[in-house]
Structures are given as structure tokens and as C-alpha cells.
Structure 1
Amino acid sequence: MPDAEQPQELPGRLLTDPEMIDACRVRDFSKVFRLVKTKAGIYPSTIARRCDLTPSRVGEVIAGQRKLQHMDVIERIADGLRIPGHMLGLARRSWETPQVLAVVERETPQVPRTEPQESASPPGPDVDGILALATRTSLSAATLEAFRSSIEDYWRRDDQHGGEALRPAIVGQLRYVVGLLKENRPPSIQKGLYGIAAELARLTGWTYFDARQDNQARAYFTQALQLAKGIDDRQFMANVLACMSLQATYQDKPADSLALVTAAQDQARSAAGTTPRVLSMLSMREAFAHAAIGNQAATHRAIGEAHRHFEQIKSSDPDPSWVTYFDEPKLIVDTGIAHGRLGEAKTAEPLIADALRREDRTNQRGRAFHSFWLARTQLDQGKLDQACHTATQALEPASAVASERVSGHLREFYGQLAPHRQEPVALAFEARLRELLPPVSGQLHP
């Protein structure tokens, strides 16, 4: 497209209009298009051309006769009309103000010395500007600790309830912390802020991964990697790469998964002070990748390495907070899952069952996910009654947590029951599945 036809940014007054913000938040494109027409002078024919839509389709949307829900269409609208990604629940768009490590789209607003003037560039949500104005004071180590405490709380609540409801708060805090990075700070404070921003970006990526929104997840994982690289935190870079490896495993991209976890291990080994717990976790992710490929010998070797590193853990080890979740029950259940991925159900079943008995009952997603794997290994051995009973037990915690990843696995389990669909235990599971995990809009149970 010639430069003269490049889309121009929408007026700041429109992007900060509460009506526009609300319409974008709920993706009401009928209202978005009307506001763009009336307040920015961009008519439907131009909207259609910019967003690669037909004029008739735009007209139907404005008239309320059609809904736009496909992610690729929403991304085209964001890019064509220059609506910042965060307003539509998307990752930061490539055309937004380039900043090496930021998800914000502009410089943090400065305190005006005279009467306030309308910003020439689109500011973010009102709350971001207010918070930025309210923090023109020096930050202390205690402030950084407060940020870290909030991140730990986010993770706990994510385990209990899922990340869907938490995501707006996490993204807002990420944007806020990145804004703080633009001010001059003492090196120790600046490094701490980079680390906090990296953790928030990884957490955001995780919530998208758990929602099975893989493009957004990868974008935030990549950003977390960049932030950690900015302060040469190689252990955290290894952690992010391990997350991306796990994502690739679930996307059925085992070669990518293995490449990413190998890079993670390289980063961890090159870092000073990498703890045995971190190395154990990474070895287990390697085992997942090999199991997805179907390489039995390599999977068993990686499992052995994970257990060898775990045996070297000492209570005095300076483990990063982000790896403390990898305790003995987690090691055992992941060992079982790796065997299960290889089809070694007889070996996997007692390991997963033992870990479930010892697992923290407040971790709703973990219990549902691991129960699914236990049911799958039981079904693989022909234990239909046990498998359906276990899967039914998984439905209760799964219904308490917003995790499309877990819900999707339980629907997949129902699909695996196809040969036994008329058996009473399978019918009972189906009835409970429909009761507790009704299909999302536009999706049917298998």
C-alpha cells in the first residue's frame, strides 16, 4: 500500500471516549463503526477498504445484522482502523509505537505545567494515565516486593479460578510497570522493574495459553523473553522458553517443543547459580517434548535426569519464586504424564494417582487436569468404569476454574469414549459433562 494510503491513527479524543472504550472492550463493532464514522469522519466504504471487508458486510454490521467474532477479522479491524491492541483484548500490534520491551503505545504522560491540553497521540486507558501521574516519586525495594507479592497472588488465584477474569488487571499492571521503566531509576530498582515486567508478561502469556489463544500467548511469552534478556536474567529466559516449549507440545509441534526446551537448558546452564529445581523442571519439559515425538529412550533418559536433579535439591537453595511450584507431587505427576504420552499407561497410572492424593486441593485446575490424565491412562488399559468415574470427578474442579485448556481435554476424553458411548457409565459421564461444562458458543460436544 502506498504511504499516502497508510491508515492514520484515530483521534485521541475518540480512543479515550468511554463509549468507544466500552464498545471495543465487548467487541461491539456495530457501535465501533458508527463512532468511527461520526467522530473520525471515516465512512463505511473506507472502513471496508482498510479492514479488507466488503462494503455490504460493513453495512450489515452497522445495522446490527451481522456479528464479527473471528480473530483474524478482529485483528484486521485493529490494524485497518489503528485501534490499539489492548482495547480489543489483543496483543500489541506491530504498527504501534515501537519500543524494544513495551506493550504500551506511547510515552508515559507528563504532568502538565499549564492548563491540560488534548494529547496529540492516543493515550491508553484512563486509569493508566492516572496511575502514571500519581507515581512521580522514587521507588524503593519495598515497592518492588509489593509488586512481586501481587504477582504471587495472581498465580494463586489463577490456579484456583483461572486467568480469564484476572487478565485485564495483569495487563494493566504490566503496562504500568513498563511505563515506569522509562524514567531514570537507580540500577538496582531499574533491574527489579525489568524482572517484574518480565514476570507479568509471562503470566499474561500463560492466561492466553490456558484459554487456548495461542497467538496472543506467544506474543506475550516473546515479550517476557525480551524483558528478561534486557537484564541478562538467563534463568528466567529459560523459564519462558520452557513455557513456549510446553505450548508447542500442546499445539502438536513436537520439533518446535524440543528446540525451545533445548534452548532453555542452554540458557540455564550458562547462568550463574541455576538451581537443581530449575534444571529438574527443564528436564521434565524435555521429557514431554521427546514423548510427543514418540522417542521412548530419550523420554526415559530425560525423566531420569529430572529425578537426578530433584534429588540434589537443598532447602537452602536460592530457588526463584517462579519455580517453587515444582515440588515432589508435581515431579511425580509430570513423570506419569510423560509415560502416558508414550502410551505407557500401566506405568503412568499409579504415578498420577499418587500425585493426585498428595496435591494441594486448592489448585482446582491442576486437580482437574491431572484427573483427566489419570482417566486417560485408565481408559487406555480398558478400565472403562474407573476411567469414567475419574473423569466425572475431574468435572467438579474443572467447572470451578475458567480454563478452556482443561475443559477442552475433558471434551476430548468424551470423544475417546465413542466406542463405548451407549454404556451406562459413559452416558452418566456425558450427562454430567453437559451439566457442568456446557459447550461454549458455536461449539458442540463431540
Structure 2
Amino acid sequence: MTNAAFEGLLLAAGYGNAHAAFARQLNHAGRDQGTWRYDAASVYWWLRGRRPGENVQVAMAEILTRKLGRLVTATEMGFGAADNAGACVYPPSIDGAIDTAEQIWMTLAKQLSPQVSGALDRGKALQAALGWRYDLPDATVSQKGRQQVTSTDVQSLYALADHFTALDRRHGSGSLRTRTLMADFLVRQVAIMLRGTYTDAVGRDLMRAAAMLSGQLAFMSYDAGDHGAAQRHVTVALRLAKAADDRLYGAHLLANLATQAVYLGHARDAARLAEAAIDGAGRAPAAVLARLHATAATAYGQSGERRPCQLALASAERALGRTGTERSPRWVTYFSPAHLAGAALRCLGDLHLYSQALGHAPDALTLDSENTRTRALHIALVAMTHARARDTDAACDWGRKLAQHTAGIQSARVQKRVRELASTLNPQQASPQVNEVLHALAAIPTAM
């Protein structure tokens, strides 16, 4: 289907048979943005329905305004508003992935959609899993652009990814400013590098680094409660991981998507995503397998499937026991016995096996000091499990600890667990100690 509005404007401006000339003008106009590498083929795909990013549309409108001698707006070009659901589609090509990545990063960087951007699209999540798992690998990712990209350039991106990850674990992701700053960096630096010149080897490393940064932004959006944005970021990260030929990080991203589905109550879809991650990871390092099986366990626990849940937990425990014997990817080193204990605490509690669940509580709290948010999440789990087991005294003790450990953390997930605990205790508010805890929980700041 042709974009008739855009085609008409190109014809009127003298670019009807000169798509390459229009692309050159666009590349020149975008030099302040970095390296744009559009050509006649890019114009062809825009005419056939592909939607360029907002900043690209602005530059297009400026070129057409000068040529036609009248104001041309981005709306007049017929691309329409950003389709949030459509942006969750797994890009079939590397160029499509780069275009999509730039578009969603720009949207966040410019705060073009300041409100929460929609719910998780479960159908598109499963489609992304299928695309990542079964699409053919990319023969090459080498490109030629204006800026040379080296291995040293890529290493700097890994360092930055580590920095944002540390900030997220310590403070949570509720601040829109933090996510906006990260997206702005992705637009101004990473998108430019993706459109640069690099060999296949450097390109795959670059795709991996970009996938990690986009994956981190996805997790931060999920933690902030912006589930539509989280899905868009993780979907493009999956495609970049595919281009990097990094099946392990792709499996990790898919497990993150499964974790998000569990959070939203879509247990069966979460189980499918987790199993697809395990299948796609293949003969993975033990730490990766431990994390993936733990995610599957939480999905099965939420859906009430006791046997699959217990089998997944056992697999995770066996894998974690082997982690000292082999090297693990940098991004999974966070997953510790405390994280597995937290998963066990959650899924066994969901199965109403409260005594077994609480047996994991001490280990769930043996976290490194930088895991501030995870500590709060696990304390809330312990309190909730006691409350569900009708041990009100213990639930109140842990509720007081939760109120003390949430200071400085901006996380929609933490806030949700605070509300769940308050709701569970609320029927007993006539009790002085319960009333005291409810007041302490209500005093926790909710501004995100």
C-alpha cells in the first residue's frame, strides 16, 4: 500500500523520480543528529508504509517546505501517529531494527508520550519469541556509513550499560528523567554508531551492546510500570541480540519478558516465553540456566501447576550449584542464591505451600548491599507470605521492616507489593499493631 500523501509531496517537490537525491538532502539535513545513511531504498520503503522516526519526519518536512515554498508539516506527509502496538512487532531485518530502535528511543528521549504507553501485547510477545528463536541468522551485519566504529567504541557502551544497571538496582527506575537521559544517549550516540561503518565482527559486538542497553531500558520501563514501552524496548533488543548472534542474551531478554508477564498475571504466556528461552539457550552456562529455570518456576507457580513448578525449581538449584565451575556472561553475574531463594519464596507461596516458602526467606535476604530494590521486594514477599499463612504478628514485623527499607527507591513493583500487603492486612485493621503497620505503609512516598 502506497503512502499517497508522501508520494504526492515528493512529486510536487521534483523528487518523484529522484528518490536518491531526496535521501541525500535528508542525510545532509540530519548531520546535526549524527550519521544518517538513507538512500533511494529507504524512500521506497517509506512510500510502502514504513514509518521513519519523528526527528527524521521533521527533517523531511523542512526539505519539502523549502522546495515547495510553503509550510509542510509532519502530519501532512501521511505517516500518522506512532503506532505503539505496531512498534512491538519483531523487526524482520537489521535495518528495520535500527529504524525501530531509533524511533522508540527518540519517543522517550523527547518525552513525546509522557503518559504510560499501554499494556503488554501478549500475542506480539509470543510472536517476538518465535521470530527470535526460528528466524534464520543474519549472514552479515557489516555496514558502511560516515562514522568508523571500532572495538574500543563498543567497549565504552558496555561500561555505560553497567553504570545504568547499577543505578537501577540501587534506586529503582521510577524516575522518568533517568530513563529519558538514557534514551537521549541512545539516540545521540548508539543510533549513530549503528548507522556507521563497521566490520562484521565489530558490528555483531555493537549489536550486542545496543541490545544490552535497550534491554536495560526495557527493564527500567517495566519497573516503572510503563509496560507498553518496556515491550517495545525488549522486542527491538531481541532483534539486535539476534543480529549479534548472541542466543544467551536473547534468552535472558525473553526471560525478562516472561517476568513482566508474570507481574501482570499472564502466567500461561509467561511459561511459554520462559520455556522458549530455555529451548533457545541450549547448552548454556549454569548461571544462565539457573536464571531461566527460576523464571519458569515463577510462571508455573502463579498458574498453580505444582509439579512443573517444583521441577523448574529443582533444575534451577542444580544449575546454580554448578556456577563456580564455568565462566558466565557479565549480565547474569547478578543472579545469586538470594535471587533463586526469592523466586522459590514467591512461587511456593503462590502454590499455598507457605511453610516451604518461608524456609527460603533467610537466603532470600542475603543480598549484596547494592541490591536495594531486590531487598525491598523480598522483604515484601516475606511479609505477604506470613500474612497469607495467617501469622499476623510476623506479617506486621516484616511490614515494619518493609516501611524502613523503601526509602529512596522509586519502583512501581515495590509500590505494588506495598499495596498488596496493606490490602491483605486491612481486614484486621482493628488490631492496634496492624493499624500501626498500615499507617507506616501508607506513609511510604508513592511519587514516581
- For normalisation by structure 1, the TM-score amounts to 0.69
Rounded Cα–Cα distance in structure 1 between residues aligned with 2:418 and 2:372:
14
Alignment of 1:171-210 (within 5 A): 171-175=183-187, 176-210=189-223
Q: Which residue of 2 aligns with 1:321?
A: 330
Gaps of at least 5 residues in structure 1 are 17-23, 25-38, 51-77, 109-121, 126-134, 441-446
What is the Cα-based RMSD across aligned positions, in Å?
3.6
Q: Which residue of 2 aligns with 1:404?
A: 412
Q: Which residue of 1 aligns with 2:236?
A: 223
Rounded Cα–Cα distance in structure 2 between residues aligned with 1:435 and 1:319:
41
SS in 2 for 1:148: helix
Instruction: Determine if contact 1:162/1:401 at 8 Å carries over to the other structure.
Output: yes
1:194 Cα deviation after fit: 0.2
Gaps of at least 5 residues in structure 2 are 10-25, 33-53, 55-69, 90-94, 111-144
Instruction: Determine if contact 2:146/2:196 at 8 Å carries over to the other structure.
Output: no
Rounded Cα–Cα distance in structure 1 between residues aligned with 2:350 and 2:406:
21
Letter in 2 for 1:353: P
- 2:267 counterpart of 1:254: yes
Rounded Cα–Cα distance in structure 1 between residues aligned with 2:397 and 2:306:
30
Residues 327, 438 of structure 1: alpha-carbon distance in 2 compared, 3 angstrom cutoff: closer
Q: Which residue of 2 aligns with 1:170?
A: 182
Letter in 2 for 1:291: G
Rounded Cα–Cα distance in structure 1 between residues aligned with 2:339 and 2:445:
26
Deviation track 1:50-106 (CA, whole Å, cap 9, x = no partner) reads 9xxxxxxxxxxxxxxxxxxxxxxxxxxx985x4798xxxx99699xxx823342249
Deviation track 1:237-261 (CA, whole Å, cap 9, x = no partner) reads 1001101111111111111101101
Rounded Cα–Cα distance in structure 1 between residues aligned with 2:295 and 2:88:
30
Q: Which residue of 2 aligns with 1:140?
A: 150
1:394 Cα deviation after fit: 1.4
Rounded Cα–Cα distance in structure 2 between residues aligned with 1:412 and 1:177:
39
Q: 1:343 aligns with which of 341, 349, 352?
A: 352
Rounded Cα–Cα distance in structure 2 between residues aligned with 1:5 and 1:408:
46
Q: Which residue of 1 aligns with 2:298?
A: 288
Residues 212, 79 of structure 1: alpha-carbon distance in 2 compared, 3 angstrom cutoff: farther
Rounded Cα–Cα distance in structure 2 between residues aligned with 1:290 and 1:8:
54
Deviation track 1:174-212 (CA, whole Å, cap 9, x = no partner) reads 333132122221222211110011001111110111112
- For normalisation by structure 2, the TM-score amounts to 0.69
1:155 Cα deviation after fit: 0.7
- 2:394 counterpart of 1:386: yes
Identity %, equivalent residues: 23
- 2:152 counterpart of 1:154: no
Instruction: Determine if contact 1:284/1:302 at 8 Å carries over to the other structure.
Output: yes
Rounded Cα–Cα distance in structure 1 between residues aligned with 2:178 and 2:200:
30
Instruction: Determine if contact 2:88/2:235 at 8 Å carries over to the other structure.
Output: no
Q: Which residue of 1 aligns with 2:59?
A: none
Letter in 1 for 2:427: P
Instruction: Determine if contact 1:238/1:268 at 8 Å carries over to the other structure.
Output: yes
Instruction: Determine if contact 2:147/2:196 at 8 Å carries over to the other structure.
Output: no
Of stretches 135-144 and 288-297 in structure 1, the one that deviates more from structure 2 is 135-144
Q: Relative CO higher for 1 or 2, CA cutoff 8 Å, sep ≥ 6?
A: 2
Letter in 1 for 2:414: V
Q: Which residue of 2 aligns with 1:333?
A: 342
1:364 Cα deviation after fit: 1.6
Residues 341, 145 of structure 1: alpha-carbon distance in 2 compared, 3 angstrom cutoff: same
1:349 Cα deviation after fit: 1.3
Residues 318, 424 of structure 1: alpha-carbon distance in 2 compared, 3 angstrom cutoff: same
Letter in 2 for 1:232: D
Q: Which residue of 2 aligns with 1:418?
A: 426
Letter in 2 for 1:104: E
Letter in 1 for 2:315: E
- 2:250 counterpart of 1:275: no
Rounded Cα–Cα distance in structure 2 between residues aligned with 1:248 and 1:83:
24
Instruction: Determine if contact 1:277/1:310 at 8 Å carries over to the other structure.
Output: yes
Residues 169, 245 of structure 1: alpha-carbon distance in 2 compared, 3 angstrom cutoff: same
Rounded Cα–Cα distance in structure 2 between residues aligned with 1:275 and 1:292:
27
SS in 2 for 1:294: coil
Deviation track 1:378-429 (CA, whole Å, cap 9, x = no partner) reads 1122221221221221123323111011111101110111220221122112
Rounded Cα–Cα distance in structure 2 between residues aligned with 1:310 and 1:387:
30
